[in-house]
Structure 1
Amino acid sequence: MTTAAPNGLRWAHVGLNCRDQKATEDFYSRHFGFRRARVVEADGARVVFLRNGPVYLELFATDADPLFPAAKDGPASPGTARHLAFQVDDVDAFLAAAGGELEPTLGPLAFDEFIPGWKTVWVSDPDGIVVEVSQGYTDQSTEELATYA
């Protein structure tokens, strides 16, 4: 269930620049279950919207060079997104289902010292955008969070 803020605010989408829209669409469709939701063409440009449940990705074609090289878990440059992240039930099963098509940039790593059962791997899409895939993440309780106030 998605809960909207009192003013109706809710998540919309992430816009991604990509060199090859088809390759990027295939990557997110094949490995993350996204499907084409809409294509908009105007002034010779095409924007492809992908959807998986309430999550949308908006793909823009570009021939620009990357500003920053991606690190193992994403660029650390201010003003840039570090990575996209998705939850799965089992990181190892996710990687196995990819049949060797996803080369980890980092991990899989276990973070049991923080959250029992939390495990993460990072991969990159065709344009070098780092994608984190995790299992077992849970929020802290309200009481635990209050100690950081």
Structure 2
Amino acid sequence: MTAPASLRWAHVGLNCRDQAATEEFYTRWFGFRRARVVSGDGWTVLFLRRGEAWLELFGSDAEPAPAAKDDGPANPGTVRHLAFQVDDVDAFLAGADGELPISLGPLGFDEYIPGWRTVWVTDPDGVVIEVSQGYTDQSPEELGRPA
């Protein structure tokens, strides 16, 4: 079976201790907006959207996962980090004025891709978020595939 032609990315679901704090974080720092609220008997799910990127925020009172550090947890079966592209990592950090908790970086990866620069920050629940500039895909020739 091949992937359906209509396949496209849908969303990432995040468990949150405080949905309002997590919503404010992604709205303030990454430009998401509330797109939908779904509620049931004692539960609410918030859908945030920025362009074609969606986050689904679930309230949770479960024990938090161990604190992630650096570029995220390395445990199989866990998400290592979310990632967003910006035009300029240093300008993004300057706009944050020290208010974003940095878990790693900023680091440059010019030896792999000229101009590739990344910093990792954490959201209110400790989810690691990579913020990068300059990433580009390899050409089909570099990947060893015909164009």
Give the TM-score range, shorter chain.
Answer: over 0.9
Aligned length: 143
Question: Could you tell me which of 65, 88, 110 is aligned with 2:86?
Answer: 88
Question: Could you tell me which of 121, 129, 144 is aligned with 2:127?
Answer: 129
Q: Distance in 2 between matches of 1:67 and 1:47?
A: 20
Runs (4 or more) in structure 1 with deviation over 6 Å come to none
Residue number in structure 1 paired with 2:53: 55
Structure 1 letter corresponding to 2:101 = E
Residue number in structure 2 paired with 1:117: 115
TM-score, normalising length from structure 1?
Answer: 0.93
TM-score, normalising length from structure 2?
Answer: 0.94
Residue number in structure 2 paired with 1:105: 103
Q: Distance in 2 between matches of 1:38 and 1:99?
A: 30
Q: Distance in 1 between matches of 2:86 and 2:99?
A: 17
Q: Distance in 1 between matches of 2:64 and 2:19?
A: 16
Identity %: 73
Q: CA RMSD in A?
A: 1.2
Q: Distance in 2 between matches of 1:142 and 1:68?
A: 39
Residue deviations 1:68-95 (CA, integer Å, cap 9, x gap): 3312110000000000000000000001
